[in-house]
Amino acid sequence: MRISDPEDANMLLVFLNEDEQVGFADTLTTRFPDISPAVIDAFRDSPRNIFCAAFGFTKAGQKGVYDHALILVKSEHSDFMRKSCIHEEMAQAMGLTNDSPDARPSIFNDDEEFAFLTRHDEILLQMLYDARLKAGMESYEVRPMLPAIARDAVR
């Protein structure tokens, strides 16, 4: 991961207030030509109680393979909340997409017990990006490899 110019980035992280959010939504089709109107609406009309959101875009013809992502962090929230949003939404844009009440200890448990990535979350990201795994693999292909990948990630 590296910082790049917005034109070259495949993960765009924006900090916007409510008015900027509406204006930026109007530019999304230029940046993401295949973006659906529903995603533009969700970006533009994100409720106040949603502090941040990640929108992942898949590669054409490759199920489950992210090509690029857009992350919205609302700037009107506290520094602490914005930092927490960066942790969670970047990890989700990298492929840990679903929150679950069973994810413990994890930022992906919506009980808001954890504000930042935990060691558990870091291990999951290491596992997800393990060289033995390839984007688009089916669960039956991955499942037998997981014990070894988990052992290696914990080390």
- The answer to whether residue 60 is domain-embedded is yes
- The answer to whether residue 5 is domain-embedded is no
The pLDDT value recorded for residue 14 is: 94
Smallest CA-to-CA distance from 76 within 89, 67, 85 is with 85
- The answer to whether residue 20 is domain-embedded is yes
Structure tokens belonging to residue 87: 């942790």
Tell me the mean pLDDT in the region 67-73.
Answer: 93
Ramachandran assignment for 25, one of left (phi > 0), alpha (psi -120 to 50 degrees), beta (any other)? alpha
Structure tokens belonging to residue 21: 């959010």
Q: Which domain holds residue 110?
A: 11-154
Tell me the mean pLDDT in the region 64-77.
Answer: 90
Give the lowest-confidence range in 2-11, 66-75, 143-152. 2-11
Question: Cα(77)–Cα(21) distance, rounded to whole angstroms?
Answer: 14
Tell me the mean pLDDT in the region 34-55.
Answer: 92
- The answer to whether residue 4 is domain-embedded is no
The pLDDT value recorded for residue 118 is: 94
The pLDDT value recorded for residue 123 is: 95
- The answer to whether residue 3 is domain-embedded is no
- The answer to whether residue 1 is domain-embedded is no
Question: Cα(89)–Cα(38) distance, rounded to whole angstroms?
Answer: 19
Question: Cα(124)–Cα(95) distance, rounded to whole angstroms?
Answer: 10
pTM tops 0.75: yes
Tell me the mean pLDDT in the region 73-77.
Answer: 93
- The answer to whether residue 146 is domain-embedded is yes
- The answer to whether residue 52 is domain-embedded is yes
What is the tally of structural domains in the chain?
1
